[in-house]
Structure 1
Amino acid sequence: MVKYLTTDLAINLGTANTVVYTRRQGVVAHEPSVVAMQERLNGSRVALHVGQAAKAMIGRTSEQVSIVRPLHEGVVADCDLAHMMLQHCLEKAGSRKMKMLHSLRFVFGIPAQCTTIERRAVIEAARAAGARGVYLIYEPLAVALGEGLDIREPYGRMIVDIGGGTTNVSVISVGGLVYNKTLLQGGEAMDEAIIAALRRKYHLDIGIQTAEQLKIELGNVLPHCTPQRLQIEGTDVAAHTPCLQEVTSHDIRDALIDGIHTIIDAMREVMGQTPPELLADIAEGGVLLTGGASLFDGLDSYMREHLGVPVYRANNPMTNTAIGAAQALDDPALEAYLTTRP
């Protein structure tokens, strides 16, 4: 039996993952933002797989197949691939008869630093997918809404969103952005740091998927915790042969800690640019930590220790942008925080 999407869609097109959410059904699609492309003999390219199936091919392809991401550093880098990613997620969500999309409105969370050209790319990708109306909302506002916060209050809130490609440190108040700083430091940079650290320490080469697994399973920034251990497969750099290596959570901490301090320094810088009244609000209400790369153990308490303000984890760090965007589209009182213009 074919399922139909007959409600508005909130979409978070992320560098690492794409999330589709409806107020009626919740999360209806959550897929890696990855496309596997094959080059034909005539020079043209064709998509082999999209989403999870494409991600499973990373590190296992021939020269004729490349793994590409429609988004780079949080914004659309290729409209055609972004359109393909959207179509795939909509099919996953149940809309297999694409004519149904013409009755839908899409709302997207967009990064605070998004340019007019980058906004237009999102709108074009949505229209190519058949959206009747396309709306945009700044991600920090959507995150706050998705966590149940009232963004209309004259109250300062700091949101630190550690995504796949970037980290955004934002201060919001009265439904607007007071200050934002973007770092090219996210989950992908952390994976690369793990690869480099294991190569230095163990003379071991691993792939990006193994690095991501280590980050998820062993990621911990607390210096004195009992180490966890995981045996992984890699390549001996000197012998060029397969080998097994036990890796500990301390190894992963050593790999990640410099990047974490880069984020902490950015948070401190943003606090220095924040008006005193709003900074007092942040000292009282704390910093909201969100994003898929914020999940490893001890990060909130480590930041709290170094900044002297409360830091708490989001309840829905992977999906709150889409949840909040859907709420904004559904509530007339929040209409002012949406835009239809690039």
Structure 2
Amino acid sequence: MAKDIGIDLGTASVLVFVKGKGIVLNEPSVVALDKNTGKLLKVGADAQAMLGRTPGNIIAIRPLREGVISDYDMTERMLKEFIHKVAGFSFFKPRVIICVPSGITEVEERAVIDAGIQAGARKVYLIEEPVAAAIGAGIDIAKPDGHMVVDIGGGTADIAVISLSGVVESASIKIAGDQLNEAVVKYMRRTYNLLVGERTAEEMKKQIGCVFPKDEEETMDVKGRCLLTGLPKVVTVSSTEMMDAFEEPVERIMEAIHSVLERTPPELVADISTNGIVMTGGGSLVSGFDKLVTARTGIHTVVAEDAISCVALGTGKSLDSLGAMQDGTMNLSRRKQMN
């Protein structure tokens, strides 16, 4: 029999969980193809290495933008490659659970389901990201107890209050890791007249990025192209400057967290202040994010243990409940299924 598969279809990376094996694949969601022939050249890490470095006939693209499919054909081909990589050749098609942002529209849901079916799945089920993140972070979501999860991925930040296996209040905003990178690129251009690429911005975010004052300031030498001379130039950037660069997108995420808390029933807010807020996703690893949320909300906030893999782990754990999802007895928020 084909193994059931859980897929965290992220804007920045795709994680695949196979039942009985755990997470077997973690690759960037990037596809490289030959423009002239339409042939798929590379998928994942190999394709990411080509971003911004390709000759005219080769293009490296991200088929997902802001948490949803922006290039259907490429997403389908990428999924096919990844499913084939983990499942190999089998007469039996696998059942697949795919993770989607909580603010997704029905049209976007349909696109994800269709892409999964076309990529070789027998049946496709959808699970909302915050629910999967909560399960992956080890929260028992079945109890009548309020938990707040803030999942900051590559394309979207999903904030949700979960109780009794369902989403009570949520917000999904298209401000996350990618927008933090863009903010760094804009800051470097504005402050230093220096043009840096997306990958350099990502490195800066990981190494010296912070959203809350650090105990010790850190610096990093950044290489880029000077906009005045057109020549290569190196500047030294500090972690305090990164805080300034991140200010606008981080403020938007904080506003979304605040608005979800405002709309949450008082009993659940009381639960959240006891249980604390859990942060997941790669974006939550930016230094000081948990401290900032604690300072602004007054609620103890922690970053989940394996923040990047939480959504994939939760999707994988929910594979055990596929029978319940089929019977319709499991309230996995807006569950979808298609033959």
Aligned equivalent of 1:281, options 259, 267, 271: 271
* C-alpha displacement of 1:316: 2.0
Aligned equivalent of 1:227, options 217, 223, 226: 217
Any residues of structure 2 matched to 1:195-210 within 5 Å, and which? 195-210=185-200
Q: Distance in 2 between matches of 1:333 and 1:21?
A: 18
1:72-118 superposed Cα distances (whole Å, 9 cap, x missing partner): 2112223321121112223443x332x35x34211111211122221
* C-alpha displacement of 1:6: 4.4
Residue 259 of structure 2 corresponds to 269
* C-alpha displacement of 1:315: 1.6
Structure 2 residue 75 is matched with structure 1 residue 85: no
* C-alpha displacement of 1:332: 6.6
Q: Distance in 1 between matches of 2:237 and 2:231?
A: 18
Residue 125 of structure 1 corresponds to 115
The sequence identity of aligned pairs, in percent, is 37
Q: Which amino acid is the alignment partner of residue 51 of structure 1? A: G
Q: Which amino acid is the alignment partner of residue 11 of structure 1? A: I
Structure 2 residue 65 is matched with structure 1 residue 72: yes
Residues 185, 340 of structure 1: alpha-carbon distance in 2 compared, 3 angstrom cutoff: closer
Residue 8 of structure 1 corresponds to 4
Aligned equivalent of 1:33, options 29, 32, 45: 29
Q: Distance in 2 between matches of 1:128 and 1:269?
A: 38
Residues 27 and 45, structure 2, Cα contact 8 Å, conserved in 1: yes
Structure 2 residue 251 is matched with structure 1 residue 258: no
Residues 92, 233 of structure 1: alpha-carbon distance in 2 compared, 3 angstrom cutoff: farther
Q: Distance in 1 between matches of 2:131 and 2:71?
A: 25
Residue 329 of structure 1 corresponds to 319
Q: Which amino acid is the alignment partner of residue 26 of structure 1? A: G
* C-alpha displacement of 1:48: 2.3
Residues 92, 130 of structure 1: alpha-carbon distance in 2 compared, 3 angstrom cutoff: closer
Q: TM-score, normalised by structure 1?
A: 0.91
Q: Distance in 2 between matches of 1:116 and 1:261?
A: 29
* C-alpha displacement of 1:45: 2.9
Q: Distance in 2 between matches of 1:169 and 1:180?
A: 5
Residues 151, 122 of structure 1: alpha-carbon distance in 2 compared, 3 angstrom cutoff: same
Residue 48 of structure 2 corresponds to 55
Residues 213 and 288, structure 2, Cα contact 8 Å, conserved in 1: no
Q: Distance in 1 between matches of 2:166 and 2:133?
A: 13
Structure 1 unmatched ranges of 5 or more: none
Q: Distance in 2 between matches of 1:332 and 1:162?
A: 26
Other structure's SS at 1:160 match:
strand
Structure 2 residue 100 is matched with structure 1 residue 110: yes
Residues 328 and 334, structure 1, Cα contact 8 Å, conserved in 2: no
Q: Distance in 1 between matches of 2:104 and 2:85?
A: 27
1:253-311 superposed Cα distances (whole Å, 9 cap, x missing partner): 21112221211111111111111111111111111111111102111011101111111
Q: Distance in 2 between matches of 1:182 and 1:332?
A: 25
* C-alpha displacement of 1:12: 0.5
Q: Distance in 2 between matches of 1:20 and 1:121?
A: 19
Q: Distance in 2 between matches of 1:247 and 1:170?
A: 35
Q: Distance in 1 between matches of 2:81 and 2:282?
A: 21
* C-alpha displacement of 1:23: 3.5
1:172-194 superposed Cα distances (whole Å, 9 cap, x missing partner): 11111111112221111110110
Other structure's SS at 1:337 match:
coil
Structure 2 residue 18 is matched with structure 1 residue 22: yes
* C-alpha displacement of 1:225: 2.6
Aligned equivalent of 2:88, options 76, 96, 102: 96
Q: Distance in 1 between matches of 2:324 and 2:272?
A: 23
* C-alpha displacement of 1:334: 5.8
Residues 21 and 323, structure 1, Cα contact 8 Å, conserved in 2: yes
Q: Which amino acid is the alignment partner of residue 88 of structure 1? A: E
Structure 2 residue 337 is matched with structure 1 residue 341: yes
Residues 96 and 123, structure 2, Cα contact 8 Å, conserved in 1: yes
Other structure's SS at 2:337 match:
coil
Residue 242 of structure 1 corresponds to 232
Structure 2 unmatched ranges of 5 or more: none
* C-alpha displacement of 1:330: 0.8
Residues 101 and 156, structure 2, Cα contact 8 Å, conserved in 1: no
The total of aligned residue pairs comes to 332
Which deviates more, 304-313 or 59-68? 59-68
Residues 33 and 42, structure 2, Cα contact 8 Å, conserved in 1: yes
Residue 46 of structure 1 corresponds to 39
